[in-house]
Amino acid sequence: DAGITQSPRHKVTETGTPVTLRCHQTENHRYMYWYRQDPGHGLRLIHYSYGVKDTDKGEVSDGYSVSRSKTEDFLLTLESATSSQTSVYFCAISDMAGLDTIYFGEGSWLTVV
Amino acid sequence: DQQVKQNSPSLSVQEGRISILNCDYTNSMFDYFLWYKKYPAEGPTFLISISSIKDKNEDGRFTVFLNKSAKHLSLHIVPSQPGDSAVYFCAASYNSGGSNYKLTFGKGTLLTVNP
């Protein structure tokens, strides 16, 4: 298994509170991604990073921010959580070898009440 | 604007028979296509891929076919096994310049293989 650790794995939070999800990798891969999975929508890219301090928006970035201060860590922050952000969040990593080397973490289940 | 479409939310087949999962795309810039498999409570795992310079790629029981003119690809699983029961995601990508590699996923198809 690729060395990807997501934390927390499960979280329940209240509307309006800030939430940070952490993705930690031990593979030294350059690219890191945050996806969310929702019924009827599949996997949608929130933000991604192509290097330390280099990040860019995905297709559903509103309400989310990210930071990557170290190669191994990619943080996803919900500044003020809303019920529409209740979802399963997957971190993924890849290297320059190609997209078939994208590996996903096990997911973080977030419920905003 | 859904660029990758999996129009069948679910598919049920008998063990031993062929499973065919379909995927359509609209962006002609896509040049690399992948299939991911996902079990409940786990992250997606890579299954098979195909470059736009090919029309077929085979790996054991799994074969992916690409029809560029129709912007259509399909995943064939022969023979299907109960352990193949999972959600299958089609994904596509293109090099948008520089060093950006991003995947666009379809909504997924739930495959159920009945014993």
Mean pLDDT of B80-98: 87
Q: N- to C-terminal Cα distance for chain A?
A: 33
Q: What is the DSSP string of B28-59?
A: TT--EEEEEEE-TTS--EEEEEEETT-SEEEE
The residue of chain B nearest to residue A33, with distances taken between CA atoms, is: B102
Tokens of A9: 């794995």
**What pLDDT, on a 0 to 100 scale, did the predictor assign at position A101?**
72
Mutation target vs B (from A10, A102, A103; most B CBs, 10 A cutoff) = A102
Q: How confident is the model at residue A1 (pLDDT cuts 50, 70, 90)?
A: low
Q: What is the pLDDT of residues B63-87, one digit of tens each?
A: 999 999 999 999 999 999 999 999 9
Q: What is the pLDDT of residues A49-79, one digit of tens each?
A: 989 999 999 989 999 999 999 999 999 999 9
Max CA distance (Å), chain A: 41
Residue A99, phi then psi, degrees to nearest 5: -75, -15
Burial of B108 (0-12, 13-18, 19+ CB in 10 A): buried
Query: Is B107–A41 a contact, with Cβ atoms under 8 angstroms apart?
Result: yes
Instruction: State how far the Cα of B33 lies from the Cα of B30, in Å rounded to an integer.
Output: 8
